[in-house]
Every structure is written in C-alpha cells, then in structure tokens.
Amino acid sequence: MTEKHKKMLLRILVTFALFMGLLAGEKSGRIIWLEEFPAGFLAYFVPYCLIGYDIIWKAARNIRHGQVFDENFLMMIATFGAFGVGEYSEALAVMLFYQVGELFQSYAVSRSRQSITEMMNICPEYANIEEDGQLVQVDPDDVEPGMVIVIKAGERIPLDGRVIEGESMIDTAALTGESVPRRASAGDEIISGCVNGSGTLKVKVTKAFEDSTVAKILELVENAGSKKARVENFITRFARYYTPVVTIGAAFLAVIPPLLFGGGWGEWIQRACIFLVISCPCALVISVPLGFFGGIGAASRIGVLVKGSNFLEAVAEMTTIVFDKTGTLTKGEFKVTQVLSGNMGEEEVLRLAALGEGYSNHPISNSIRAAYGKPVDVSLVTDVEEIPGHGVCAQIEGSRILVGNGKLMESQGISYDEYQSGGTVVYVARDKSFAGTIVISDTVKEGAQEAIRRMKQVGVRKCVMLTGDRQEAAQAVASELGLDEVHAELLPADKVNRVEELLERQQKNQRLAFVGDGINDAPVLTRADIGIAMGSMGSDAAIEAADVVLMDDDVRKIASVVQISRKTLRIVKQNIVFALGVKALVLLLGAFGMANMWEAVFADVGVSVIAILNAMRALKVE
C-alpha cells in the first residue's frame, strides 16, 4: 500500500469513528442537540469536511474549468442536498462510503498496473566500461555501438550486444516470463533488460541505448494505455452524456412534482439526492479500463506485450491466423539432413560441394560447410561463377565442379537422379558426370506443432502459412504442423496481396492476425488486423509495426493471449450489464420513493466494489 493509500485509510478510519459515535448518540437519544440546527449540522459537517474536502475541491475546480458534469459534482450536489433537507447522517455516510469505494478502486488500479509497471524496473541504471584496468560506471546513453562493456554477476544487462568473453546463465524472466535461465557464451547475442546470473561477461555493444530492446519495451509499455478498445471509447462517450442527463433528471425530480402537485419540497429534494447518488457512473468508468489493464498485465506476465486495449479486444475476435514460415514456425537454420551418392562417395560429394560454396555467405552454403565440418581450403578453388537462380560453377583440383539445383544440371546437359524432398535439394557434378545429392532442410521450431493445436482448441478457425520457399518445402512443413492453408514462392508484395485476399473473406467482427519476424514482414504486419512480432530475434521494423510482441519468440503463447483477451472481454461485458442493471433498478425505486440513501450508497459504492473485484480477475493467468 502506497503512502497516499495509507493517508486516505487514516482519514476514513477517523471519520468512521466520529460517524459511529455521532450515530450512536443520535439513535440512543442521549445527545438530543444532534437533531437540531445548527448544532447537529456542525457536528456532522466537521467529519464531512475531513473526509470529503478533496471531492468538493475537485468539483469546484472542474466547474471553474468548464467541466461541470462528473462524479465529483454528483457527490457534492447530492450530499449538499442531503444537508439542506436535514439528513445530516446520510450526507456524511454517502461521502464516507464513496471515499471507501475510491480507496478500494485506487488500490485495485495500482494492483492491475503493477504487472505492467514492473516492466519499468528492467531499465538499467549504468553500464561498466574498462578504463586503465579499472571498471567505470557510465550512463548507458553514453555507450556507443562497437564499445565493449563488462557485466558482472547479478547485474542487469544494459545494452544489446554479442558476448566476446565469458560464460554465464542469463535470467530472462523480466522480459519473457520464463523462469529457466539461458546459457550465454562467446559469440552469443544477448539483449538488454535481462539479468546476468552467474559469471562475468564481456560484451561488444551492437545497438545504442535508444535502439536497444529495453528502450523499445519501455516505450511500448508507456504507450499501452493510450490506445483504447471500442468498449472503452463507448463508456467514455456514454459517461459524457449520461452525467448531465441524470443531473437534469434529478433537478426535474426535485422541482416538477412539488410544482404540479404542491408541497413536499423536502421529500422530493431528498429523492433527487438519492437519484444523484445512485446515478454516479464510477462503477463503469473505473471497472472497464481496470479490466483491460488487468488483461494487458496478465499478458505481460507471460512475456507478451500488447500495445493497447484495442489490440487486446481485436485478439479476442481473431478467427484467422497467418504465419510467416522462416523464423516463425521454423528455426531458419538450414542443416544438411541427407547426402546421397551418385558415382562417388558421400564424403567426397560433401567435400566438393563445400569447396564449391567456399566463397558464398548464402545460408545454404553455410550449412554445407558446417556439415562438412573441416576447414575449406579455398586456394584449391578457381574461376568461381555464381549463376543466379541456378547455383555455382568452379574449377577445383583441375575438374569443373557444378553445385546447384536441377535447372543447373539441365542447362549443362548433365543426366542426374532427380530427388523429391520437402527440403532444398542440391545436386553436385564433376566434369559433366553426376556425383551426388545433398538435401538441406529448415527444421521446425520446438513447440510450433503444439501452438497450432492450441490455436484450434481456443477457437481459431483457420491457420495459414505464407512463405517465399518452394512449394514442396512449404507443403512438407504445413503437413507436419497441421496447417489449413499454405501459399509458397511468394515475394514480400505477394504476401500483402494474400493477406488482403484473406481479409476480404472475413465476416464482420472477425479478425485476422499475421505473425512474422523479418524486416520484409513489416508491411504485412501493418496490413493485418493484428500484427504479432517476435521480440527476441525479430527485426526492429517488425516489432515497430506489430501490435503484439512475443518477447521470447514462443508462438505457443499466442493461444494464451487469445484466452486472456476473451476472458478480459467477458469480464468487461459482465461489469457493464451488472452496473447498468442495478443502477436502473434502484434509480426507478429512488424516483418513486422506494429506495433510501443507504440503498443508494449500495447502488453506487457497492456496485463499484463488486465490479472492481470482478475486473481484478483479469489479472490472473489461467
């Protein structure tokens, strides 16, 4: 509990003690003067001012600024009216219990924000750099890319970089929600905001602080509350018109009946005051945003950042999800999975291919050299010619070596054994003679199959994959994962067109999400109803364009966010129906003189507390 909450609680307890003492004296008949003016008025007005001075001040300030109709104004007018008709104890009770409700909802809002604002603690205070053999603490803003920083055990990683020395276990829980640390050693990329667990690391900085992971996360967190869901905007508009309408209604209730039927001014003014207390919209105004804060907080606790309640609402309505293949459903790590001999041994086929690809940095070339596993002597390779879309031609040890696809073999008039595979097939030939075949595959991510299965379980009707890869490779991945639809051999612009076609098929109140990680995915992420990006290894452009960010790239968490969002929306709708229903009933009873001030307090504070308790359920991750 904050200092502000403690002070408010003290005011409530002191006022409550005074109120109970005055009420006991009045009801017992021992303090007769409490029922008389001005003694009774002053006796109740002193604790009233103690508990309600801030409400009166806010109401007066807002009136001065032209913002008349709000809940502070309603409370002030209602309690002043109660004092005016001699209902001193009721006036004090209304303000006291209203402040109890305010304290409760303030505490609840703090609790719901906590899951989000805890992310602010990931901001590093300093970075260590080595000067003259000594470690010096500097502001992370002053560290430039290329500089080397030292991160000691227990310190928070201040900037993104690559480990150049040392080995340690990295605690990523603050970003990903995962409790299991990850090992980092020389050559590994690490991101800011995580905690270095066990050993000292030397890290070469790759990004300035303003472009680092932690800076981008903090920016997302700070802006999360500014993007409101449709239902939130509705409540804001509703309250804007609702408050003046009920104020005018209360004025009519106080004036019209006595004028038409004569006499009874005190009774009708009291009914009008009860009407105003009941009509206070705080149950809606507080519980609806609180529910969305809880949902966003619950998502952040599992390592998923949702950039606003409007996107949380959209996720709840998601019926189609579209995945990019490489880096999203597959690791993007091409590995040699098969070597088939032609007229020479498998080891020789792999050696010639590794030599032929010795000068290339293409992922396929890298995977062939990695599979060979021995140093490649590029001095043996001469007259290298890369043929776009076909492969490589080179002179190796006096022989003409071809390494490439079937088109290369056919263009050179070489007879080869065609091999059908879901992976990438590379053929090798020497001096017009077919040597053998190498199969390279991109491996499916751990958990991808489970992610698709969970999508189906939570009611996502269609799972689609888009890729620039070959149709055979794409179909093999789609079959393994159980996808409903696959589109292959697409350029980035083609992906946008495919998403637009899928969007046209959507019905009203249905949403399409796209999941990607590359810079070429940014246009598609923007075009989809919901863009979901990989936060750990995804590109900055993709993260910037996305609406939801998976901090640990685990696509299984998308189904969890769908569940959180749907639960949040259910809670919000429950609160709206409950609050409006109870208020409408008690308003009618109050207008006909069948509800007193205590029932009005329940219709305001009681309904608010119940709605807030219900909204706080959104914080819980099931």
Question: Could you tell me the CA-to-CA distances from 191 to 45, 156, 157 in Å, in that order?
Answer: 59, 10, 7
Is the bond preceding 38 in cis, omega lying within 30 degrees of 0? yes
- How far apart are the C-alpha atoms of 260 and 257, rounded to whole Å? 5
Mutual orientation of helices 607-615 and 557-591 as an angle, nearest 10°?
Answer: 170
What 3-state class would DSSP assign to 165? Answer: strand
Mutual orientation of helices 557-591 and 265-279 as an angle, nearest 10°?
Answer: 180
Question: Could you tell me the CA-to-CA distances from 370 to 336, 342, 354 in Å, in that order?
Answer: 8, 21, 9
- How far apart are the C-alpha atoms of 80 and 621, rounded to whole Å? 44
CA 131-135-137 angle, to 5 degrees, is 105
- How far apart are the C-alpha atoms of 57 and 44, rounded to whole Å? 19
The answer to whether the Cα torsion of 306, 310, 315, 320 is positive or negative is: negative
Shortest CA distance to 383 belongs to which of 393, 374, 391? Answer: 393
- How far apart are the C-alpha atoms of 338 and 425, rounded to whole Å? 9
| DSSP classification of residue 111 | H
Is residue 299 within 8 A of residue 220, CB to CB? The reply is no
DSSP calls for 473-533: HHHHHHHHHT-SEEE-S--HHHHHHHHHHHHHHPPTT-EEEEEE-SGGGHHHHHHSSEEEE
Mutual orientation of helices 557-591 and 230-261 as an angle, nearest 10°?
Answer: 0
Q: Which of the following is catalytic: 70, 160, 324, 552? A: 324
Does the annotation mark 188 as catalytic?
no
Is residue 537 within 8 A of residue 553, CB to CB? The reply is yes
Q: Are strands 195-196 and 168-171 parallel, antiparallel or unpaired?
A: antiparallel
Residues identified as active-site:
324
